[in-house]
Chains A and B, each alone.
Chain A
Amino acid sequence: MTLSSLQRNRHLLPVLVGVMALALFMLPPLFLSTFMVRVFLISLLSTGLAVSWNILGGFAGYWSFGHTLYVGVGAFTAGKLVPLLGPNLGGIEVLTFSIVAGGLVSGMLALVLAYPLLRLRGIYFAIAMLGVAELTGEISSSFDAIGGAMGLTLPIVVPENINPAVFYYYLFLALNAIILVIAAFIKYSRFGYGLASIREDEDSAKMLGVPTERYKIIASVISCALVGISGVLYGFYLGYFTTTSVFRVDFSLNMILHTLIGGIGTLFGPILGAWIMVFLTQFVLGKLLEIHILITGLLVIIIVLLAPSGIIGAAKAWLEKRQTAEEGISKGEESETDLYLNQV
């Protein structure tokens, strides 16, 4: 009885928090300056990327160091296909088409890459992804047919009388909501538990009948397609982009960093991490340009040292500790995050 109600609560709580947060995030553009809306927008972009990365990196334990590949692929897909559409389509049609195309191309690329790359484990997978991302970036700027060196231009799709920043803010917000719902469904589904088993011990999982190969590929395709869609939106938001503005190593690193700081493998960790880090870097450190990077680095070190399983992990551990102290029952020592961290 208690178990089932607990489980139902575990499903219910994220939904409630998510809906409330969504409603809350509808408000800021109504009273904030354009600059602030842009900062919020960057936070939303980072959040979407981090949550998408977390599907493969956090749930399945496959750390990709090159997820910016799909930001680039999404943006470039839009940049190459939109000019072929002809001038008759309206902004929303162009955008919808680009999102579908970008998601499909990213997902298909992930599917193709999954066969050779997902056989690699741990750090080797991470670096192979970094290599593929860098290689694709180099190719996109080296060949004139792709035109990454000169840059691609996307048409303006923002309806008139709407502040572009606000328009993209709501687009990114909607995308975030979708990504988060997908991530939540994955985490609490049979598929999600399969991914968790892969993360904890892939060989045992395989032995016990988890279709590890298929699960890994699906997780990768979903994660990469979502990043690709973020890339499409980012491309439209920029309007004009080159290889260096979408194939950015710092995108890849930030996805990992935000996820780690918030709590890897958790649903809301990446969101928390992304907002904290974006606001810290944009505001607190914006005033200290000379030592901006130094303080960012120090912060990263301090956060990892003080809260190794992320903010959510630390909070969970603290709550559990208090609970066991109150109940006076000796529970199993290892929490979910501890188990995970022992494994990695």
Chain B
Amino acid sequence: MNLIIQTLIDGIMLGGVLSLAAAGFSLIFGVMNVISLAHGAMVVIGAYLGYVSWSFLGVDPMIMIPVVMVVMFALGYGIQRTIIQWAVVRAAPVASLVVTFGLALVLRNTLDLVFSPDIRSVSPAYAFMNTGIGFITVDVVRLVGLGASLCLLVFLAVLLNRTAFGRIIRATAQQPHAAELCAINVQHVYGLTFAVGSAFAGVAGVIIGIIMPFSPHAEGHWTLNAFVVVVLGGVGSPAGALIGGLMLGLIVTFTAQFIGPGFTNAMMFLILVLMLILRPEGLLGHAFGESR
């Protein structure tokens, strides 16, 4: 019983971070119908920004989160307005898949060159502390990570649902042409959406960097995770990302605990395929799907 509860808690801890890492991907997919295969690279860049601030500047990565957000926001906007927009307008939405794949390769290799392919980790003073209630132990750093993830997801939900900016994004997602008729600069909004998605990827990267080791080659893993989370939870909404992330976290920890650590990937893909066959739009459905 203790083991089950402990595994449950671990799964939720992991799930919170997975949710945050997938939220940006989900937003980009939902609004622009673009699958960003460079999303994992964005997450890893965030982790390296945290690493730089911790090991070179001596600043706690958590404090640097706003700075990372701004940097990633700018990077994301630039990438969308140049490469991806060009690919989507000139070719097809599917071409964006290939372009972002190429981008992921470029970013990964650049990180390799700058930081070397070695596995890095960020370990601030609180990285090895743990706390607990009764028989359950919780790493402080994971708890902080979960808390930060939840705060940021709520922030994203408020941004999307309660502000004028969010209304513009939702309008663009539902009817790009109608939005354009209402004097919305759709390409600009797409740029901002990609920027917000990248900013959240970057923040997720910072938190992931504290929790677990990373290297440039982790990017494929994070892209895949984001996709599984979106398929499980539903496209476009922070709530969908949260549900999907928690589910994935639980699946991974329970499989590792009760079936065997070697089977986590197999289980993840099994659930992914079953989910696609049974309910491809995810548990919560497509957030902007009603009018499509």
Contacts and interface: CB of A to CB of B under 8 A. Distances in A.
A341 B102 CA distance: 20
A271 B83 CA distance: 26
A81 interface: no
Contacts of A119: 277
Nearest to A135: B269
A116 B102 CA distance: 31
A128 B109 contact: no
Given A128-B276, A297-B104, A304 B231 contact: no
B227 to A, nearest CB: 6
Contacts of B105: 293-294, 296-297, 300
B95 A127 contact: no
B266 A139 contact: yes
Interface string B269-286: 110110011001000000
Interface string A197-220: 000000000000000000000000
Contacts of B280: 120, 124
Interface in A225-259: 249, 253, 256-257
A73 B101 CA distance: 26
A131 B106 CA distance: 25
B276 A124 contact: yes
B215 to A, nearest CB: 14
Contacts of A124: 231, 276, 280
A55 to B, nearest CB: 17
Interface string B254-277: 000000001101100110110011
B99 A127 contact: no
A128 B87 contact: no
B182 interface: no
A300 B104 CA distance: 11
A308 B265 contact: no
A18 to B, nearest CB: 27
Given A127-B227, A296-B105, A341-B91, A138 B99 contact: no
B265 A138 contact: yes
A138 B269 contact: yes
Contacts of B166: none
B277 A301 contact: no
Contacts, number: 108
A300 B101 contact: yes
Contacts of A116: 277
A137 B74 CA distance: 39
Interface residues of B, number: 39
A142 interface: yes
B229 to A, nearest CB: 12
A308 B113 contact: no
Given A135-B270, A138-B263, A341-B91, A297 B276 contact: no
A301 B106 contact: yes
Contact of B91 (A138, A292, A300, A304): A304
Contact of A344 (B92, B112, B227, B263): B92
A123 interface: yes
A13 interface: no
B265 A300 contact: no
Contacts of B124: none
A130 to B, nearest CB: 8
B94 interface: yes
A299 interface: yes
Nearest to A302: B102
B95 A293 contact: no
B98 A257 contact: yes
B109 A293 contact: yes
A321 B108 CA distance: 39
A296 B91 CA distance: 20
B292 interface: no
B277 A127 contact: no
A199 to B, nearest CB: 12
Nearest to A133: B269
Contact of A300 (B99, B109, B262): B99
Interface in B60-115: 83, 86-87, 90-95, 97-99, 101-110, 112-113
A116 B270 CA distance: 14
B35 interface: yes
A291 interface: yes
B98 A256 contact: yes
Given A124-B280, A294-B110, A304-B102, A142 B94 contact: no
Given A120-B276, A131-B276, A304 B95 contact: yes
B263 A297 contact: no
A255 to B, nearest CB: 12
Contacts of B106: 293-294, 297-298, 301
Nearest to A264: B94
A300 B277 CA distance: 32
B99 A304 contact: yes
A290 B117 CA distance: 11
Given A124-B280, A135-B269, A341-B92, 14 more contacts: A117-B277, A124-B231, A131-B272, A132-B269, A135-B270, A135-B273, A142-B262, A297-B102, A297-B106, A298-B106, A301-B83, A304-B95, A304-B99, A305-B87
Interface of A: 63, 116-117, 119-120, 123-124, 127-128, 131-132, 134-135, 138-139, 142, 249, 253, 256-257, 260, 290-294, 296-301, 304-305, 308-309, 341-342, 344
10 contacts: A63-B94, A123-B35, A128-B273, A128-B277, A131-B272, A293-B108, A293-B112, A297-B103, A300-B105, A309-B91
Closest 5 CB pairs of A and B: A308-B91, A297-B105, A300-B102, A294-B109, A138-B266
